[in-house]
Amino acid sequence: MPTPTTTQVDPVARARKQRIRRKRARQSVVFGSLIAFMVLAALLAVAVYNNAINVPFATGFSSTAVPTDAPITPACLAEGKTKPVGYRKIKVRVFNSSDRKGLAATTAQQLEKLGFQITATGNVDDNVANARISYGAKGIARAYTLAAHISGAVLDYDDRTSVSIDLTVGASFDGLIDEKSVTIKSGTPMEDLPGCAPIDTLTPSKQLHPTVAEAKTEK
């Protein structure tokens, strides 16, 4: 009767197979953990986006806010004087209240192309972030007409007695509105600005820079 033979296992081959099995096991653990982490992160992101949970170290997804000017109650349009004023009848002084060199001159040039009459430009130290239009009791419609070309401008009623108006622009001023987006039309009555008040209920502020000499000539 033949004697059964015993198969000899190569110890080197056996060690190699064991290393491969251990490597595959580690890979499975790593990949499994990575997938679980990605799923958890996705669920957390969805929850934060939908405000389902509050994040203690953040106030929301937002960019740096653009500085704006404090609101000022504008005067309502006078009865019978609600139509836009012809640009050539509007005299404007343009002041730069920022460190942006040439901002007043550039803005003045843009207004002149539309037909506004620029009487002066200069640099001032006023605290204006975007744009402020200063006007007197006789210049309400003129201020409204100019404001239609400037996004976010505040209207400041002061004690001047003339029909001229001032435009002071600041660091966040982004230029005039595109002409196609201007909502006023010649001959069509303008609407009162939101939150306006009758002129006789407002107390005018003191006019700033009443003479051109008080404004530094823009460089």
The model's pLDDT over 142-183, given as tens digits with 9 standing for 90+, comes to 999 999 999 999 999 999 999 999 999 999 999 999 999 999
Give the pairing of strands 165-169 and 131-135.
antiparallel
- Of all residues in the chain, the percent with pLDDT exceeding 70 is 76
Q: How far apart (Å, rounded) are the C-alpha atoms in residues 179 and 187?
A: 17
The model's pLDDT over 38-94, given as tens digits with 9 standing for 90+, comes to 777 777 766 655 555 554 444 444 445 667 889 999 999 999 999 999 999 999 999
